[in-house]
Amino acid sequence: MLQPSEQHTYADIEAVYKCLEEGYGAKQEDIILYGQSVGSGPTLDLAARLPHLRAVVLHSPILSGLRVMYPVKKSYWFDIYKNIDKIQLVDCPVLVIHGTADEVVDCSHGKQLWELSKEKYEPLWLKGGNHCDLEHHPEYIRHLKKFVLTVEKPPSQRYTGSRRRSTDQQLLPPRKSTDIVFEASRKVERSRRSVDCCLEKSRKSVDHQLERGRKSVDRIRTG
């Protein structure tokens, strides 16, 4: 059986994309990628290679695996999921959602990724939100719905850049992609245990891959 690894997660999301493209005839322009926590890694890796994506949602994302544990200032060869380097290669609108009380991945990760995004959409910083409870906040689904409806419009009709959008903006009737997002959010609660399990496995994987680099990182911190 294959062991969990960074490269295997990249292969997984690539396989899903190929299935949508070849099996269902989906185009980049029809796809919104959604990455949560460690899942932001494969999400941004794929998004950086697809120039015509409709949009990307980053839910409690990480700057990189190493940066979750150490406040390093640059990327090292042994680091994994280097989102901080890939976000600048994403050409579509990016929505970042992060809880201000996140005890697993500090909110500063989400804020820095949003700052580095080319096409920023109004972010959602959920006050008091932790790492695995953002779906319980009423603002979560409202903001996500507004984002999906916005990116479904032609680019010339969207609010682009970091300019704040009015919460009174008139919404268009929901489309199929919107319904898919809502249905996925309803299933979050049932899949919470599996998400927590994946997060724990990812932490162990990070620890294993960083073993060779710990001494050099410690020297940086104490130097």
pLDDT at 16: 96
Q: 87: which DSSP letter?
A: G
pTM for the predicted model, two decimal places: 0.73
In the residue annotation, 30 being an active-site residue is answered as: no
pLDDT tens string for the chain (223 positions)? 678 899 999 999 999 999 999 999 999 999 999 999 999 999 999 999 999 999 999 999 999 999 999 999 999 999 999 999 999 999 999 999 999 999 999 999 999 999 999 999 999 999 999 999 999 999 999 999 999 999 998 777 775 444 444 333 333 334 444 444 444 434 434 444 444 554 555 555 555 555 555 655 555 555 5
Helices 6-18 and 40-47: crossing angle in degrees, nearest 10, is 60
Could you say which of 59, 98, 109, 131 is catalytic? 131
Cα–Cα distance measured from residue 147 to residue 140, given in angstroms and rounded to the nearest whole number: 11
Kindly report, residue by residue over 56-102, the tens digit of the pLDDT: 999 999 999 999 999 999 999 999 999 999 999 999 999 999 999 99
User: How many CB atoms lie under 10 A from the CB of residue 31?
Assistant: 21
Could you say which of 37, 60, 64, 205 is catalytic? 37
Q: Over the Cα atoms of the chain, what is R_g?
A: 18
In the residue annotation, 37 being an active-site residue is answered as: yes
For residue 67, CA distances in Å to 13, 33, 74, 113 come to: 23, 23, 9, 13
Could you say which of 45, 79, 102, 106 is catalytic? 102
CA proximity to 76, closest of 183, 223, 222, 218: 218
Task: Tell me the residue length of the chain.
Answer: 223
